[in-house]
A = this chain, B = another copy of it.
Amino acid sequence: MPKQQASPPVVDLNADTPCCPPLAQRRVPAETAAALAPAFKALGDPVRLQLMSMIASAEGGEACVCDLTPAFDLTGPTISHHLKTLREAGLVDAERRGTWVYYRARPQILRQLAALLSIEPAPRA
């Protein structure tokens, strides 16, 4: 099967600065939506949301798969599949060190997603 993922980086997911104004401020363009929707989709599963949190909140900023897997009533392959999904969405990075594989959150894209959802604190007016 062909590899063919490599969506063209219409929005730079690695940028340190938020790429876009809040969703409620101006209409998000189709290209931006296409670039960021996969990240939201990846977070749209309870297991992956917990995985993301466990990784992002782990001491040292990284979590071992060996610590993640037993936290769920799921098989190893399934957890591995979810981690791959998070990886392909650009939400985490993986690094093998010896026997174990460690996952680490990518704060930039999390910041971008949070910025997109941000709302004026209170519609006082």
Contacts and interface: CB of A to CB of B under 8 A. Distances in A.
A23 B53 contact: yes
Nearest to A29: B50
A35 to B, nearest CB: 9
Given A110-B117, A114-B118, A119-B107, A46 B30 contact: yes
Nearest to A54: B27
A101 interface: no
A25 interface: yes
Interface residues of A, number: 40
Contacts of A25: 57
A27 B117 contact: no
A19 interface: no
Interface in A87-114: 105, 107, 110-111, 113-114
A77 interface: no
A114 B119 contact: yes
28 contacts: A23-B56, A23-B57, A23-B110, A24-B53, A24-B57, A24-B107, A24-B110, A25-B57, A26-B57, A27-B57, A28-B53, A30-B50, A33-B53, A37-B43, A37-B45, A37-B46, A37-B48, A37-B49, A38-B44, A40-B40, A40-B44, A40-B49, A42-B44, A107-B119, A111-B117, A111-B119, A113-B117, A114-B119
